[in-house]
Every structure is written in C-alpha cells, then in structure tokens.
Amino acid sequence: KVITTRAFRYRRQTRLSCIRRKNRMWRPAYVLTNRNKIALLQRPHSISLKSQLSLWISNKLWPVPLYQLAICFAVGFFLQSSDVSFFNGVKSRMVTLNERISLHRDSWSTQALISAELSLVFLMIVVYLRRAFLRTVLSYTRWLYFFDGSEDKSLWTSIWRFSMKVGMGANPTTFSHEAILPSLPLPNVSMTVKRLLGSLAPYLGVDSSRYKTLRDQLNEYSRKQAAGSQRRLLAKTWTSGNYSTFWWETSTFLTNPKSLILNTNYCAVELRETPPSTTQAARGAVLLYLLANLRSLVFGGCIQPQLFKDTVPLSMTQWKRAFSTTRIPLIEGDELWTFPRSHSQHAVVVCHGSFYKLSILASWQRLFSPKSLQKQLEWILEDASARVDKRKKMSWPLCCLTQLDRREWGATRCEHFAKGTNKQSLDVIERAICILILDTEVAPQSLSERTTTALNGNWGCVWADKGLNFMLSADCRFSVHAEQSALDPAILASVLDCLQCGEIASMYDSEGNAIELEGTAIHSQLPERLSWEIDELSKPLELAGKTALLNATKASVSVLKVSTYGRPTVKSFGLSCDGFMQIALNYAFYLLSRKFALSAETVPTRLFSNGRTETLRPLTNEMVEFIRACDTLDKKNCLSGHSDARDRCIQLLKTACRRHQWLLLHAMTGKGVDRHLHALNLATQLRTHERCDILDT
C-alpha cells in the first residue's frame, strides 16, 4: 500500500492569485485568492442571529435574484386584484383555509394575506423550476471529455454553456450549490462488469484460468441477480441523491475493525523552510485563531463555494465536517459525530502527556485574540513542564488508546470512560474544534522523517479519532494528522491553504509574538487541565503502547523532490500529469519485482450531490504494453540512434496517458467501477440476506 502525503507550500501575499491554465484538467480550487479575502479571514467574524436568519433566507431562495422575487410578488398582487375565473376558485379556497386557521381579518387584511400567499406560491414554483433546470444542466458532462485542447462545438455543449451563463444565480453562499447538484448517475451493470474485467485483464492475463472463472461468474451474476439490486440502487438514487456515499462511509470506514493509524488516517506536512514565527506559543495561537475564524466564515456563508474550471460548482458538504468532528468507537461499529458550534467552542492542547481545555470563543461567539491565546499557550507550556515529574507516571501516553483496534478501543471506552471523571474529560476532547499538540522535543530536520512522524501519530501522541490533529514542533513547524472518514485529503488541502493564506507577517509583531486584533475578546480564566482516573488502565495502555510502537516501526515514508522537471514540462509534451505519474510508479514497481500489481487511485466525484471519491484502477493494457516495450528497449541502442524504437515508446506512452485520462474522466462523471460494485454487493445482501461471493472477492 502506498501512502501519499499532501504537502502544502507557503505562498507570499503578492502571489496568492490562482492562475488557471486553459488546458489544465484538474486543480483544486483555492478559496482565498486576493488580499481582500485574506483580510476577511484575519478579521474576527461572529455569526449573529440576524446574519443566521439572512443566510437561511438566502439559501432557501437561491438562485432566484431579487428582480424575480419582486416579479413573483407583483404577479401575486395582480392575480388577487384581477377577476380571473380560475384564480377566483383558488382565492375562495384560500379564504376558507384562512378562516379555519383563524387568519380571517377585515377586508383589506384578507386581500393582503391572499396576495402574500399567492406570491409565496409563485416564488416556490420559480425556485423549484430554476433548481430543477440547473440540476438537469449540470447532469450534462460531455464537455469534460475534450481535455486535449480542442473545443466541443456540438449543439448540446453550446446549449449547456448558454444555460450555465443564464441559469446560475449570483452571490451564492458557501452551501448554496448543494441544492442544484445532480444525483450521482447509476451505471449500467453490464458496462460495470465489462470495465472491471478490462482492469483485471492486464494483471491476471486474458488466458489465465482465474480470469476466465471470474468472467463467467460475473456474467452469471449480471444475468440472474443484478437486476433486482440495480432497482434498489435506482430507488436509493431517487430518495437520497447519492446511492454510494453513505454505504461507502459506513461499510468501508466506520465498520472497519482495524487501527486507524496506517489504515485510514493520513497526514500533511509543511514545506516552507522558515516559519513566520520562531515562538511556538505565538504560532499555535495564530493557527487556532485562524481555524476558529474560518469555521465562523464557513457556517456564516462568507466563503465562496469552489468551482471546477471556474464554472461548474463542487459539493461543499464535507466542509461542515472539517471542524468539531470525532469518530466515536463502539463495540459493533463506529459513528461519526459532528458537534454544533454552540457545543464546541474550545480546542484541546496536549503537552507532555497532559490535556488542557483552551477556550477559543467567548460569549456571543466572539473570538479570543491571538495575543490572548498565546498567553494561554505559554501558561500551558509552563504548567505541563512543571507537572512532568509530579504527575503519575504512565508507561504510554493516553492517546495510544486510540491506536488500538476499533473493537478493543470501543470496549475499553465503554468500560473505563462511560462515567465519572474520565467521561467528562473524554467529552471535552470529542467536542473540541481540533487538537493542538505542542511538541517540546527537537523535530527531525529531513522531510521524510517529519512525514513519517506525522503519519504514525508521533509515537502515540495524537488522538486518532479526532478529525484534525495539529502537531507543532519546537522549531515552529507544524503538520496535520487527519481522519479520512470525516473529510477527504482535497478538503483538508483547501482548509490548509486558507490557513496559509491568512498566516502572513502582519499576524506577528517584530519579535514574533501574536498581535492583538480589534473586536476580539480577552481571556479572564486560565485553561482547564483535564483529569483522568488511570488506575485500571494499565493493561489497555500497555497493549495500546505496543500497538503504537508497531505502527511506528511499520511506517516508512521517503519524500522525493523532483526539481529537474515538473508539471509544465509534462504538459508541454502533450501528456497527462496524473497518467505520467501512475505510469512511472507502475514502471518502477515492475523494475523492482518484475511483475505488475493492482493499484488504486482516488478520484473526486464532487461534481454530484454529496459526492466524495471514486476508485480508479490505473493498470491498463496500454500501460503494460508501454512498460514491456521500454523494458525490452536496449539503452545502448536507444542512445546510438535507433529512433524507431524510441518513437514507438513515445507513442505508447501517449496512448497509455490518453487511456488513463479517459478512465479518470469516467470516474469523475460517475462511471467508475468500485463504488457501483460495492453498492451492488450491499444491495444484494439486503435483498437476499446472503453474501455474494463473487462481489466479495
């Protein structure tokens, strides 16, 4: 299994604009792109009752503009005043209904009430029709397949472009586009089976007995059992909008009994050489302030929704789970809890094995200033250092318990954390916005060692159940350990980009300390140190410590920096960068093991409602043909001028990259294989109450 880490770069304030190239296939949309929005992220934002009401009304009416709203009320007033036979019957029924619910008043108020009711009815019809129209328009995905620089000039694509320009509403809030995103399309069973066999052919071989057996079993399932399961998925698509996401999260992540470290969680590591501040408490305070302010901006609808190629909206539902989300272990299966803002106004700071509750928001959702947060973190560092020798010695940190197998950790949680002091302290951790780990030891200097430390949980110092764990080393370099069932790496990358854009030199003074911001609150109380009863936790802690040590020894990450060429060089050859990297990885594996391997790549499906990811199988017949051609090509003959062999390899490389690009687009547009097969498997089990052996394999 290859574990990749998303490393993010520091961008100077003068180079924050995201330049999108015309032929670029995919690039994550950065939310903050100019200095005005950077100032918005730094300025404290609180969500008042008035802003919440305004946001609710805006989301309910979007994409209807104000002039159409005025037209609806004008039509309602006109119809109430006019003498149309059809609407006379409607008005008489409204009068009767108003009398029954005690809304009948004098003549003038009755007419005004009927006008308002007619206007609201017309407004609801207009909102529904516009959303249905945009949902239908966004279901068209043929324009995606013109990735080689050519332009689709067909009639349907021209109509699609015109409809997008005319139909899209102005000034959307963060989650306005969720109402118009189409449902994830349900592929045909025969086509899914055909693509599955096509992905297995280069690995197993068309003439192998195993391939023939799988082909016969899949074809038999397609003829006899798939129809009923497909009907269930079609009904699920009509009711939920996405037939795959809920089942995928539940059965793949939440019911997986394995430890989260190295199986589910991932990490991100900072790349910049010099941090903006050399004071650990100051940088931790600024990061906590920016993260809490970003949460207020997201739920206040102030962050612009992400767009694909500046035109097509992407699903933003995972942004709701980027804060205050915890995976709760249970005996039979886990649950994913996202706590509301009213119950999550603090962060948990871990230092020298001690846990502290640090309030980030004051009353009325007001943010504490970075300078005030820095003073609180400085007190935590001093108190934790003083308590290192005083506190009861534990063989392993308490965070190691989260690295146990999920069923073991769930049983330990139910037995030792269900009541008393442990339950109160655990509730504080699970309701926190995030966890900040202050590491006082010297951090490794090499990027590979830092990535390994972040991935294995810093030897058991991260709370693996928490959605976000920020690890801040003694040299003020930070990394993030995240839980994947809560949010995908692409969402975390966008969140970190926002933090990086807001964390500039103006957030610190000349000495590297955090500044005081106008409109923020000041702490009046010290952080609360969490207490634990660990007398009966010796055996679970010993087992958890061994598991953490085993995970730490298993993880080995090597970061390779490629400086001789990059994305522009690959694009200049007319190749797909993603396909180029997948071919390079498979070629390297073939040179080491002299065989091919089934690999997987994550592809976003956020073009659809509540979309997350789809699995892409990069190994294709075209890739195998290119690798074997390059392997048989003699290096000496290649350098001596045999251009025919080189030209053939180049042509095979282009063909393999083009094939990979088509598979990537199929996965993005809901025509993938794995999610459909997984949903068919679960639907078959629900229908027949038996496991389907062919789909389980």
Contact 501, 41 (CB under 8 A): yes
Cβ-based neighbour number of residue 204 at 10 Å:
19
State yes or no: pLDDT of 233 exceeds 70. yes
Band of residue 147 on the pLDDT scale cut at 50, 70, 90: low
State yes or no: pLDDT of 519 exceeds 90. no
The model's pLDDT over 460-496, given as tens digits with 9 standing for 90+, comes to: 789 999 999 999 998 898 899 999 999 999 999 999 9
> From CA 26, how far away is CA 578, in angstroms rounded?
9
State yes or no: pLDDT of 432 exceeds 60. yes
Which percentage of the chain shows pLDDT scores above 70?
A: 90
The structural architecture, per CATH, of the domain 189-245+561-695 is 2-Layer Sandwich (3.30)
State yes or no: pLDDT of 410 exceeds 90. yes
* Residue 151: per-residue pLDDT: 65
Average pLDDT on 670-683 reads 92
* Residue 366: per-residue pLDDT: 87
> From CA 687, how far away is CA 228, in angstroms rounded?
8
SS3 state of residue 359? strand
SS3 state of residue 328? strand
Question: pTM to 2 decimals?
Answer: 0.89
State yes or no: pLDDT of 134 exceeds 90. yes
State yes or no: pLDDT of 102 exceeds 70. no
State yes or no: pLDDT of 293 exceeds 60. yes
Band of residue 638 on the pLDDT scale cut at 50, 70, 90: low
Q: 649-659: string of b/e by CB count within 10 Å (b at 16+)?
A: beebbbbbbbb
**DSSP assignments along 143-198, one per residue:** GGG--SS-----HHHHHHHHHHHHHSPSS--TTGGGGTPPPPP---HHHHHHHHHH
Band of residue 14 on the pLDDT scale cut at 50, 70, 90: very low
* Residue 379: per-residue pLDDT: 95
* Residue 456: per-residue pLDDT: 85
Beta carbons within 8 Å of 236's beta carbon, 6+ residues apart: 243, 679, 683
Q: How many CA atoms lie within 13 A of 650 on its CB side?
A: 9
* Residue 504: per-residue pLDDT: 85
The larger pLDDT score, comparing residue 30 to residue 154, is at: 154
Average pLDDT on 179-206 reads 92
Band of residue 312 on the pLDDT scale cut at 50, 70, 90: very high
Contact 374, 282 (CB under 8 A): yes
- Separation of CA 200 from chain center: 29
Topology annotation, domain 263-554: Chloramphenicol Acetyltransferase (3.30.559)
> From CA 151, how far away is CA 35, in angstroms rounded?
34
The larger pLDDT score, comparing residue 417 to residue 37, is at: 417
* Residue 393: per-residue pLDDT: 59
Contact 603, 667 (CB under 8 A): yes
Highest mean pLDDT, choosing among 5-9, 84-88, 267-271: 267-271
> From CA 40, how far away is CA 476, in angstroms rounded?
25
* Residue 186: per-residue pLDDT: 93
Which percentage of the chain shows pLDDT scores above 90?
A: 48
Cis peptide before 63 (omega within 30 of 0): yes
> From CA 696, how far away is CA 221, in angstroms rounded?
12
Average pLDDT on 243-251 reads 91
Q: 312-325: string of b/e by CB count within 10 Å (b at 16+)?
A: bbbbbbbbbbbbbb
The model's pLDDT over 527-571, given as tens digits with 9 standing for 90+, comes to: 999 999 888 888 889 899 888 888 888 878 888 888 888 888 898
Of 30-39, 290-299, 348-357, the range with the lowest mean pLDDT is 30-39
* Residue 144: per-residue pLDDT: 85
State yes or no: pLDDT of 434 exceeds 70. yes
Length of the chain: 697
Mean pLDDT over each residue of the chain, to the nearest integer = 85
State yes or no: pLDDT of 79 exceeds 70. yes
SS3 state of residue 521? strand
Fold agreement (189-245+561-695, 263-554): yes
* Residue 30: per-residue pLDDT: 38
In the numeric block, which tokens belong to residue 315? 């699903």
Q: Which residues face 204 on adjacent strands?
A: none
Contact 297, 38 (CB under 8 A): no
* Residue 10: per-residue pLDDT: 32
What are the respective helix, strand and coil percentages of the chain, to the nearest 5? 55, 10, 35
State yes or no: pLDDT of 20 exceeds 50. no
Average pLDDT on 313-334 reads 92
Which 8-state DSSP code applies to residue 28? P
Band of residue 430 on the pLDDT scale cut at 50, 70, 90: very high
* Residue 25: per-residue pLDDT: 32
* Residue 425: per-residue pLDDT: 95
Domain ranges of the chain: 9-167, 189-245+561-695, 263-554
> From CA 693, how far away is CA 695, in angstroms rounded?
6
The model's pLDDT over 37-72, given as tens digits with 9 standing for 90+, comes to: 788 888 888 888 888 898 999 999 999 888 888 998
The model's pLDDT over 361-404, given as tens digits with 9 standing for 90+, comes to: 988 788 999 999 999 999 999 999 888 766 655 678 899 999 99
Amino acid at 541: L
Q: How many CA atoms lie within 13 A of 474 on its CB side?
A: 7
